[in-house]
Amino acid sequence: MAMLEVRNLNVYFGVIQAIKDISFDVNQGEVVALIGANGAGKTTTLHTVTGLLSAESGTISLDGKDITKTPAHKIVSMGMAHVPEGRRVFASLSVYDNLKMGAYTRKDKKEIQSSLEMVFSAFPRLEERRNQIAGTLSGGEQQMLAMGRALMSKPRILLMDEPSMGLSPLYVNEIFAIIEKIQSEGTTVLLVEQNAKKALSIADRAYVLETGRIIMEGKASDLLEDERVRKAYLGA
Amino acid sequence: MKFLSQLISGVSLGSIYSLIALGYTMVYGIAKMLNFAHGDVIMVGAFVVYTACVAGGLSPFFGVLIAVVCCTLLGVVIERLAYKPLRSAASLAVLITAIGVSYFLQNMALLIFGSDTKQFSSVVSLPSVTLADGSLTISGETIVTIVLSLIIMVCLYLFINRSKPGKAMLAVSEDKGAAQLMGINVNAMIALTFAIGSALAAIAGALLCSSYPALSPYTGAMPGIKAFVAAVFGGIGSIPGAMVGGVLLGVIENLSKGYISSQLSDAIVFAVLILVLLIKPTGIMGKKINEKV
């Protein structure tokens, strides 16, 4: 049984079908990438998985438990955190308060403190700026904050939506190095990216999404070599 | 001395506007709606105090306490029954519903208490203070209103900025989706906001009717509108803005009454609002965070 199982998922925006009967698995310990062009349905998929959008039909299960109808605010305490597209940090709160929000559902103060130290050691820049208002951080720092905030819930599976969007190449490398580190520490990752090359280089497996359908799936290393993928997404 | 006296009673009236404006601005901040029934919650609060103290013979303290409890429940029930079903509806539908709730409350009060104006007996038993050899008299109501409002605002400010549920409310008002991803129950936070706003409205109702003791089913309408003006004046959605906006509005109103014309004072208040909106559309403390993308 996979950790996260999505089966025959259909999602509509009014009359428009954004997600067409997609199924995928994320196994414990993997980094799985969902790649595809703008508007392919990647973000919609993640939003449906974490309950921000509701599915028309299909099932989503986490550790074998059906979460298709679970409201979004109950998902994080089940061990699944979501770093949304565009970071969406709480701009008027401080870096520290943003991180504390990530641990909103946790009670044990000591454990929260140790998570905070873990996040600060992964992102030293956040510690330097812990009292700064989040809206004044640079894009890359905000991405780190959004990731740190999600890690504060101590997730077993982390969903990341376009973490490299709008960042300088230097930051992109840093963010991807951190994703690999997160995986090496035992957290499962579902990664949505337009930067297919980067995503495939760190993922174990990947699914290619096109206009709401999964058109290809396989080992990331195979997809990197695949002619169609190279043409359509890697610009080669 | 006349100026000082006008100023002090202006601050007192303004503190009441602030308490009401806080309800408007907090609800707007978190639910992005204008709760035009908020003014009528003040009236309900005042009627509860009136009933409890005059008919029930309770002490003013318990009267106000019961009013706070009743209005808190009322606020939560209104939100649950009238606004929550419209969470994803067009904002115009919500606005019209709020006006409907406002009329509903007024007419319920009309049905129960009749249309004649009741003489409200002050909940304040503090004697007035005479200063500067008798040339400046400050009523007990004025003192209690200012001090109590100040205490409430400090507590509210600390609650919002220091406590976990307070910060969660800020998070929800900024980004509901991201707040949900943190595990924050958005509906519970909205209900909490209505509860706090309505509790403040009950206190405002008791203070207002202690200073201006005529109570009728329409008592809440005008202060409600003025507090809304105060909230916009200060920058709707901003809590410090509502506090400052309310006090300024009360001072402007009282000084206009004292020095220009008591008939024109409301017109002056609204003219000031128009001016502020022309010069600074976000209000004096309106939020505009520079967010890098």
pLDDT of residue B92 exceeding 50, the answer is yes
What element of type H or E holds B118?
Answer: strand B118-119
pLDDT of residue B289 exceeding 60, the answer is no
Give pLDDT, residue B292.
43
Give pLDDT, residue B218.
94
Distance CA A63, CA A32 (A): 16
Tell me how crowded residue B151 is: count the other CB atoms within 10 A of its CB.
Answer: 10
- Given a cut of 50, the residues of chain A with pLDDT beneath it are none
Of A73, A93, A102, the CB nearest to B180: A73
B66 confidence band (pLDDT: 50, 70, 90): very high
| Cβ neighbours for B123, distance < 8 A, ≥ 6 positions apart | B49, B53, B60, B61, B63, B64, B206, B207, B210
In a domain, B239, yes or no: no
In a domain, B278, yes or no: no
Distance CA A208, CA A200 (A): 11
Token match 């959605």: residue? Answer: B237
What mean pLDDT value characterizes chain B? 92
Which of the given ranges, A203-207, B56-60, B135-139, has the highest pLDDT on average?
A203-207
% residues pLDDT > 70 (chain B): 98
H helical segments located in A12-138: 42-49, 95-102, 109-122, 124-128
Give pLDDT, residue B291.
43
- Pick the closest to residue B26 from B244, B237, B241 (CA basis): B237
Distance CA B222, CA B204 (A): 13
Give pLDDT, residue A1.
83
Distance CA A170, CA A215 (A): 32
In a domain, B135, yes or no: yes
Average pLDDT on B249-265 reads 92
In a domain, B257, yes or no: no
Distance CA A191, CA A206 (A): 9
pLDDT digits (tens, 9 = 90+) for B41-54: 999 999 999 999 98
In a domain, B292, yes or no: no
Best mutation target among B182, B185, B192, B293 (most A Cβ atoms within 10 Å) is: B182
Structure pTM? 0.91
Interface of B with A (CB under 8 A): 164, 167-168, 170-171, 174-175, 177-186, 287, 289-293
The shortest C-alpha distance from A151 to chain B (Å) reads 11
Contacts with A115 from chain B: Cβ below 8 Å: none
Average pLDDT on B65-91 reads 95
pLDDT of residue B290 exceeding 60, the answer is no
Residue B284 backbone phi and psi in degrees, to 5: -65, -35
In a domain, B156, yes or no: yes
B287 confidence band (pLDDT: 50, 70, 90): low
pLDDT digits (tens, 9 = 90+) for B153-212: 999 999 999 999 999 999 999 999 999 999 999 999 999 999 999 999 999 999 999 999
ipTM above 0.90, yes or no: yes
Distance CA B79, CA A120 (A): 40
Give pLDDT, residue B226.
93
Average pLDDT on B61-84 reads 96
| Domains: count for chain B | 1
pLDDT digits (tens, 9 = 90+) for A169-219: 888 999 999 999 999 999 999 999 988 999 999 999 999 999 999 999 999
| Residue in chain A nearest B184 by alpha carbon | A73
In a domain, B268, yes or no: no
The shortest C-alpha distance from B2 to chain A (Å) reads 42
| Domain carrying residue B125 | 16-220
In a domain, B46, yes or no: yes
| Residue in chain B nearest A76 by alpha carbon | B183
pLDDT of residue B132 exceeding 80, the answer is no
Contacts with B168 from chain A: Cβ below 8 Å: 101, 104
**Does B170 contact A90 at a Cβ distance shorter than 8 Å?**
yes
Give pLDDT, residue A142.
95
Token match 């954004």: residue? Answer: A18
Interfacial A residues in 53-82 facing B (CB < 8 Å):
71-77, 81-82
Distance CA B15, CA A32 (A): 57
Q: How many CA atoms lie within 13 A of B246 on its CB side?
A: 32
